[in-house]
Structure formats: structure tokens, C-alpha cells
């Protein structure tokens, strides 16, 4: 699968009854954490040097 070839992708698929949280990272430094039990979404921002961002084109 092409998604597995993206640097930083640990795993993908359906995690039914296996996980409670999903962490999604974006190329602009945003990080979204979704808690499926509570129905909450937390957003944060990771600051980095733009030249060090390998994912800025994604």
C-alpha cells in the first residue's frame, strides 16, 4: 500500500476494539488527537524549523 511508504506512517487500517485514540499529524505542524470513547478532538501545534519539515509538500 502506498500509504505505508510515507515516512512517519506507523500503521493504518481498521483498529476495531484495539485502540482508543487516533493521532493525526499534518505537514504544517498541526497535530489532532481523537478520543473515540469520549468523542473529543484535541488540536495542538508543533513548532519546527521549516527547512527541517520533511512533510511540507504533503
Measured between alpha carbons, how far is 47 from 4 in angstroms, rounded to an integer?
A: 25
| Interval 27-31 mean pLDDT | 86
| Interval 43-52 mean pLDDT | 78
3-state helix, strand, coil in the chain (%, to 5): 10, 30, 60
Does 22 map to a domain? yes
Domain count, the chain: 1
Query: Global pTM?
Result: 0.58
Does 58 map to a domain? no
Does 15 map to a domain? yes
Does 57 map to a domain? no
Q: What domain range is 38 assigned to?
A: 2-52
Amino acid at each position: 500500500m502506498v500509504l505505508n511508504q510515507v515516512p512517519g506512517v506507523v500503521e493504518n487500517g481498521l483498529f476495531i476494539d484495539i485502540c482508543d485514540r487516533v493521532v493525526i499529524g499534518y505537514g504544517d505542524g498541526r497535530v489532532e488527537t481523537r478520543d473515540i470513547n469520549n468523542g473529543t478532538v484535541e488540536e495542538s501545534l508543533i513548532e519546527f524549523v521549516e527547512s527541517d519539515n520533511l512533510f511540507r509538500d504533503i
